Amino acid sequence: MTEQPSVAARLWKVLLAPRDIAALVAFRVALGLLVTVSAIRFLAYGWVDTLFTQPRFHFTYWGFGWVPALPAPWIHAVFALLAVLGLCVAAGLFYRVAVALLFVAFTYVQLVDVSNYLNHYYLVSLLLLLLNFIPTHRAFSVDAWRKPELRSDWLPAWCTYLLRFQVGVVYFFAGMAKLTTDWLIHAQPLNIWLAARTSLPVVGPLMEQRWVAYGAAWAGFLFDTTIVAFLLSRRLRPFAYVVVLGFHAATSALFPIGMFPVIMVTAALAFFESSWPRRVAGRVRALLSKRPVLPEPALAPVAASVSAPGRKAWLALGMAAAYAVLQVGFPLRTHLYGGNVLWHEQGMRFSWRVMAREKNGSVTFMVRDPATGREWHVSPSQYLTRLQEREMSVQPDLILQLARRIARDFEAKGLGPVEVRAEARVSLNGRPAELLLDPTVDLAREMDGLAAKPWIRPAPESPPIRLRPTLHAARR
């Protein structure tokens, strides 16, 4: 009687099954070029100065206050280095060193100021981290040309599965973030955003119609929650990718979300068969030469059997499993705080809540010297740029950071310990502005951290605003 292989052995065989390296090479090239283009845009449009050198105060992530904000011209040099390293990764030149430095440099840029946080920057950092463990330089690279012993047409299947998992996590949690009454029942904040786009040619008059907002809200929810399943289906994958292209093209045209659509369109290529670049290249060559499309020649055969995993292999598998658990668990941490995360923001970052809310706020800081009873009102504009103030005014932990900075500045003038309170009024998805924080709490004595912040007031229970089409639009 033949002994059946264990579950672990079968799993290991699946994970180590050889796959054509071509798709992963295409992903390497695309991601490297995306980083290069992004870095050049930051330099060309002056965003490096606007976001990094002009601010006098930088918001830091909890636990990363030690990360320095480099002055000019050093921060410009970092972005120039990003552009060069992106090209090195795309070309597969000194790949191991280049991709490691690119991950460190790109992540550093994100850590300098919390007010610059965007989901797609976080995603790029994660993808660069994964590329540190995926040897995509073994084919179609300068390294493989310089060192023929590196060359390989194959990589284990887990390399592809890991990228698919990461992309799937983004879509899944982006969809779950839309599973709210504001999004599905009230079509907010899409109604607000679309109503501001009435100047668009042809479709502009439709943008303030409620049914358009509802259609867009439900389409976005269904897209995010189902697209991964369709991309995993070999039969439906080509049609699903067309939908990916259309969806992200529409969001790019309607909303100022930067490189996010391009990144997601590129990342979705990980769901295609691993040899798709060879097939595409073959068809292009056939069209250019006006010859019939011939099947791609078979790659060199690989061993049919997969050896039993050793200690290092099990360690690698354990690290991959830990990474997967972290990527699933980290976005779920917000449920430990209760309440409405769109209001209190605890667990909001790094949880893929893409375009889930519209918030506007204003904050005034009140400083009091308890020894004399004197009081001062401090405007955030004395410390922040307009972009920083906009982000700070709706995020409690950033309000806390600035309050503590104000306290230090006053105490440095010899006033002794002062009290700092904040009157922060915030509107969520068009609701009337309400107090975000308890205005009686002395923020100078509060500490940031992972614990729940009791000085954040409960979210408003009133329904969001409901915009109505203008009379002029209705007559048209």
pLDDT band of 472, cuts 50, 70, 90: very low
- Per-residue burial over 300-316, b = 16 or more CB atoms within 10 Å of its CB, e = otherwise: eeeeeebeebeeeeeee
Q: What whole-number distance in Å separates Cα of residue 160 and Cα of residue 130?
A: 11
pLDDT band of 307, cuts 50, 70, 90: low
pLDDT of residue 168 exceeding 70, the answer is yes
Residues forming a β-bridge with 154 = 20
Residue 338 near residue 349 (C-beta atoms within 8 A) = no
**Residue 278's pLDDT is what?**
87
Q: What is the pLDDT of residues 174-226, one digit of tens each?
A: 999 999 999 999 999 999 999 888 888 888 888 888 899 999 999 999 999 99
pLDDT of residue 76 exceeding 70, the answer is yes
pLDDT above 90 covers what percent of the chain? 71
Instruction: Specify the higher pLDDT residue, 256 or 62.
Output: 62
pLDDT band of 239, cuts 50, 70, 90: very high
Residues 6+ apart with CB under 8 A from 131: 28, 31, 89, 99, 103
**Residue 17's pLDDT is what?**
87
**Residue 293's pLDDT is what?**
53
Alpha helices in 333-395 (DSSP H): 341-344, 386-392
Phi, psi angle pair for 32, to nearest 5°: -60, -45
**Residue 4's pLDDT is what?**
64
- Whether residue 189 is preceded by a cis peptide bond, meaning omega within 30 degrees of 0, is yes
pLDDT of residue 315 exceeding 90, the answer is no
In 3D, which of 54, 33, 8, 25 has the Cα closest to residue 275?
25
**Residue 414's pLDDT is what?**
83
Q: Which residue has the tokens 């668990």?
A: 329
What angle do helix axes 22-44 and 260-267 make, rounded to 10 degrees? Answer: 170
- Residue range 146-161: mean pLDDT, rounded: 92
Integer-rounded Cα radius of gyration of the chain: 26
- Residue range 462-466: mean pLDDT, rounded: 83
Q: What is the model's pTM?
A: 0.91
